[in-house]
Structure 1
C-alpha cells in the first residue's frame, strides 16, 4: 500500500488507504508518527489532555451528555506545525482504556489502546471540509483569520456502531488528501 509522502516543496500527501492499519509501524505511537517517519519527516507532537465539554455537534455524534476526554495536539514535521488535532473520547472509553488519558499512549496510540480494551474501531468516516480559520488556528498555522483550511472530521465506530472517537484535524497549508475506493 502506498505511504504518505512529503515532496521537495514540503507538501504532504496524506494517503488514507493505509493510514490506520500501519499506525504502529516501527514502534510509532499513532498514524501521524508512522506516516511522517515513512515519508522521511521528523514527527513530533505537543499534547494536552483534559476533561471538558465537547462542542454540541461532537456531543451529538458521540451520543453523550456531560464531560469527555479531550486530547489536543499540535503536530509537527520537524519545527513546522502541520496540523492541529482535537480528539473527543466519551467517558466509557477512558474507563475501559485509562491510558487514553495519558500524554503518551504507547505504540499504536489511542486506537490500539481502545482495541486492547475491546473497543476496536471497525468503521471510520472522514468528512473533509473547508473551514475558516479562527483566531487561534490562524495564529498557530501562520494564516490569516478567516482563511479556508482543510478540516477532516474523523468519526470512529466499533463493530456494533457505537461511536468511540471524534477527531477534528485542521491542516496547515500544503496538504493533499488521497483516498482510494475499491471498484470491483
Structure 2
C-alpha cells in the first residue's frame, strides 16, 4: 500500500508531503508523483527525493477515461491505496473515483464552500472578506464539493498583498495537509 501525489505545478505541497512521510515514517509511504504537465516543477522535486514521477499528458488520449486508465495502470504498479491531490488542476473522473472510493483527498486555498475552483486566493483577496483559509476535503464528482475533513482560517489584513496572503495560505497548507493525511491513513488501518 502506498500514496500517489498528483500535482500540476511547482510541487511545493507534494515535496512537503513526501518529506513529512519520510521523516515521520508514515505506515503508508509516498511511492510516486503523477503530473498532467510534462514540464511541471514537481518533477524536479520528485527527482531530488528519489520518488518516481510520471508526466502523462491528457492531450495524448482520446478522452478522460483513456487518460485515467493509463494513470490507473501506473497506480496499480505502485500498489497505491490513496490519491493525494496537491495542486492538481484537473477534475478526477469516474475511472479513478470508482477505483479509490473515499481515498482521494484535495487541498483547496479557501474556506469552502466559499471561492471554489481556480484562483481562490485571488477571489478572496479581491472580494470584500476579512478571512479566507485552507480546506482539506474528500474528492467527489464536483469541483471542490466533497465532504470537508479540516479547515483552517487565515485572516486577510489590510496590509496584505496577494503575495503575502498567498504565502500565509501556503504555510498553513504545508502544516495542515500532511497532518490530516497521516491521521486519516492511520485511522484507516
Higher helix share: 2
Question: Which protein has the bigger strand share?
Answer: 1
Higher relative contact order structure (alpha carbons within 8 Å, sequence separation ≥ 6): 1
Q: Same fold (TM over 0.5)?
A: no
Calculate the TM-score normalised by the size of structure 1.
0.28
